[in-house]
Structure 1
């Protein structure tokens, strides 16, 4: 009997949605249809592909009320935040706007003797394995440029956000993107790995855990399939003695706590110059105590449940271990009565922490942050680089030259100054070390969903 793929709602623990995974034969047939349809799609004018994809994004916006409610049920985000439409629209519009320039041929010579150029050809079929934490934005980061570049796309969404794939497919098909050109399918792990191992795709984009990324790489081994992998993170913030303290507290704590801490580039550890440390911690505690943990449908709720009780269990375990090793918790349990020991998890700020504790070195992906004092840029830099991950880092200072000097020594994909937890679509989204490899967004994002093809024509004269 086929085991169903289920979304267990963190709101009340019930099965919110379930789907049967495709059989190997049905999955292979989906790939075959995508390959058959891709050529005609790529042959359409670029302007037409852009128009249809943008119409699909517009259809998602028109469905906002239903989508926001479904997101709360699936992964717990409070409805007061209105979903992901700000980021979704910004990124989609930007990538559509730069498509003609990003995909334009690189002409080396066009003379009476030679035509030499590089063009950017679609891979063919792009496979998007999307995560649950920002299920629309992260999926569309690849879907939009992949379709615009002339690829067919097959989406496999996370089990926690099963319905999101349905909504994206509905929106794009209603806009006129052919059903075989964009497909949303449901697979289990073995089905996903089999398709990759069978060389079904020209490019695979995966966003998820380090373990998941390793499984993707193993499945692709020997196939020479191009991979984009955005994996774990343990993103640091460093507050220098000349920082705007209130702005730093507000931004960093929001980066640590928004979406119940379930953000790829969320702030998970903070290093503060010892001169500001006490003031920063006092203000951070005050900031966190303004949050309200509760039902995501309550208009007053600013912190919903984590997407799954097992994710909350990981954060609780890291926190308890840190406390047993000498860390101090600063947020009182009585301030957050909605913490039920399951998916509803109170936020926490820790001091007296160090890098012997998992909470400062392993990804938490929840509403907890450790704060450490430092005495120098060198100490802060060593601590920021003491991590297996490298997605973003956030520097807080009014001295731009100082920030440049530190930034270029941090092993990470993106460095912010005086901001955090943001994806600028004009700047490539990338990581290093165990955070993975590959590039999304920006002009470079189009290079991920295409391959260069060179032409060297000698013009024969009569």
Structure 2
């Protein structure tokens, strides 16, 4: 794939970039190693000052970078502005909380007395240069939620961003540089995916984090495993959205529309499978379908647009294949299922609701990365849990119920990294984020995320 900005709203190539040469990559690796030697000794106060400076810059420049994101991957401009604001919030949260999150831990003296220690402690120390392989769907947020904790922990970052968002990638490297971080602390690598293995195998790179497809995660994890390097993976999701009889059906249906089409439906944590109790199925289906039909599909730069284009031609073709397979095997489209008329130049797809989906259909097992929802009728909580877990993925989940005993059952039995009640899944700097099964391993955000790339060092002191 070329490194280029291709506007998905009309398919035009806006700008192309030459990948870094081998010598240029080598220089950036050397710069990262050199930067780490000095940066690791900085205080939390110094790091917080730099990160807050980056947040201030991003806040002032939010509209401009939002327009770049929309041009590169097609999200509605309002959503791009909200993404920039979320990044500012996360930067300031880590600047404020990192020192406490990484404070030394002191076991009680009586608990370690039999080890012969007069006292002991655990200190969190940075590891070194970390490679971040990031996706296009949240081109600013995915990077910042790695960069903010990594930099506050004293690590340095190397960003290999998706090839279709090069301008956002370059902006990020420039942002941290202009904020005052020393050269080499955070660098963008404009390279192809084929160059990732050599960078990851370089001994100066100590760990990697990846957000992306299952295939990409498997490739990075296998190389890192061969090199015995730490990784964090956040991969795909096919999140269930469960609606039980005690739910506020009107609110659930309204939220379900947003949960499915956020980011044009191209979100790993978007609700994709809607599992609705038979007692409220008809009422929910009617409201949900009406809500999907009422969305405005069009130019993501226009303020009235709810759903913009998919990121590219291949993504739309993949989505169409899933829908075509389901319809051929007996599923019904309550709405959508086509490319919208009048938008032929871009990579658009209608918001779609499918019902009558069976386990034999590909869409039952595979992630639909676009504005396509599958709607299932369930008889009770047991069937809802069984169906919710009948997926290779386990990123997050949504449950609508007012029954506390029922809620406890879902928390206990759902195979997911998160359970969100009476609302939609969202990431937040203070809450750990990640999944189980083929959705990956490790956690981002909160204290869990900042400690992922730290050396938890036991310090033992004898008498």
What TM-score comes out, normalization by structure 2 length? Answer: 0.94
Match of 1:18 among 5, 12, 16: 16
> CA separation in 2, counterparts of 1:335 and 1:308?
13
| Match status 1:224 vs 2:228 | yes
Q: Which moved more, 1:375-384 or 1:77-86?
A: 77-86
- Could you tell me how far 1:4 is from its partner in structure 2? 4.7
* Number of the residue aligned with 1:326: 330
Offset, 1:109: 6.3
1:430 paired with 2:444, answer: no
Q: Do residues 248 (structure 1) and 252 (structure 2) align?
A: yes
**2:192 is the alignment partner of 1:192:** no
Residues 431-440 or 71-80, more deviating? 71-80
In structure 1, the residue matched to 2:100 is: 101
Residue in 1 aligned with 2:215? 211
Residue of 403, 407, 415 corresponding to 2:407? 403
Q: 2:75 aligns with which of 48, 62, 77?
A: 77
1:444 aligns with 2:458: no
TM-score by length of 1: 0.95
* Farther off after superposition, 167-176 or 370-379: 167-176
- Kindly state the Cα deviation for residue 89 of structure 1 after the two structures are TM-superposed: 2.7
Deviation of residue 367 (structure 1)? 0.2
Question: What count of residue pairs does the alignment treat as equivalent?
Answer: 457
Aligned to 1:118: 122
Is the contact between residue 197 and residue 221 of structure 1 (CA under 8 Å) also seen in structure 2? no
Deviates more, 1:364-373 or 1:109-118: 109-118
Alignment partner of 1:301 is 2:293? no
User: Shift of the alpha carbon at 1:360?
Assistant: 2.2
Q: Which residue of 1 aligns with 2:348?
A: 344
The answer to whether structure 1 residue 264 and structure 2 residue 262 are counterparts is: no
Deviation for aligned residue 1:349:
0.6
Alpha-carbon distance change, 108 to 335 in structure 1, aligned in 2, over 3 angstroms: closer
Residues 326-367 of structure 1, C-alpha deviation per residue, up to 9 Å, x if partnerless?
Answer: 111112579943453861111101111122212222011100
Q: How far 1:264 sits from its partner (Å)?
A: 1.5
d(CA) in 2 for partners of 1:91, 1:49:
14
Tell me what 2:136 maps to: 132
Q: Structure 1: which 5+ residue stretches go unaligned? A: none
Worse overlay, 7-16 or 331-340: 331-340
Structure 2 Cα separation of the partners of residues 279 and 338 of structure 1: 32
Indicate the residue corresponding to 1:89 in structure 2.
Answer: 88
Structure 1 residues 385-438: Cα deviation after superposition (integer angstroms, max 9, x where no partner):
110000001111001221111221111111111111311322210111111111
Q: CA–CA distance in 2 between the matches of 1:90 and 1:379?
A: 39
**Are residues 280 and 113 of structure 1, via their aligned partners in 2, closer, same or farther at CA, if it must alter by over 3 Å?**
closer
Per the alignment, residue 60 of structure 1 pairs with 58
Separation in 1, partners of 2:334, 2:238: 21
1:190-229: CA deviations, max 9, x gaps?
2111111233322211000000001101222321110000
Following superposition, the deviation at residue 83 of structure 1 comes to 4.3
Distance 1:9 1:433 in 2: 34
Q: Is the contact between residue 126 and residue 453 of structure 2 (CA under 8 Å) also seen in structure 1?
A: yes
Distance (whole Å) between structure 2 residues aligned to residue 92 and residue 37 of structure 1? 21
5+ residue gaps, structure 2, are none
CA distance in 2, matches of 1:259, 1:8: 17
**Matched residues in 1 for 2:376 and 2:317: separation?**
24
Q: Provide Cα deviations, 1:290-344, integer angstroms capped at 9, x if missing partner.
A: 1111111222211110111110111111111111111111125799434538611
Aligned partners of 2:147, 2:233: CA distance in 1, in Å?
15
In structure 1, the partner of 2:38 is 40
Instruction: Tell me the C-alpha RMSD between the 2 structures.
Output: 2.0
Contact 2:90–2:148, Cα closer than 8 Å, also in 1: no
Distance 1:35 1:334, change over 3 A: closer
Pairing 1:355–2:392 present:
no
Say if 1:203 and 1:226, in contact at 8 Å, map to a contact too.
yes
Residues 252-276 of structure 1: CA distance to partner in whole angstroms, max 9, x if unpaired?
A: 1211012110111001110100011
Task: State the alpha-carbon separation in 2 of the partners of residues 126 and 299 from structure 1.
Answer: 38
Which residue matches 1:165? 169
Matches within 5 A, 1:135-150: 135-150=139-154
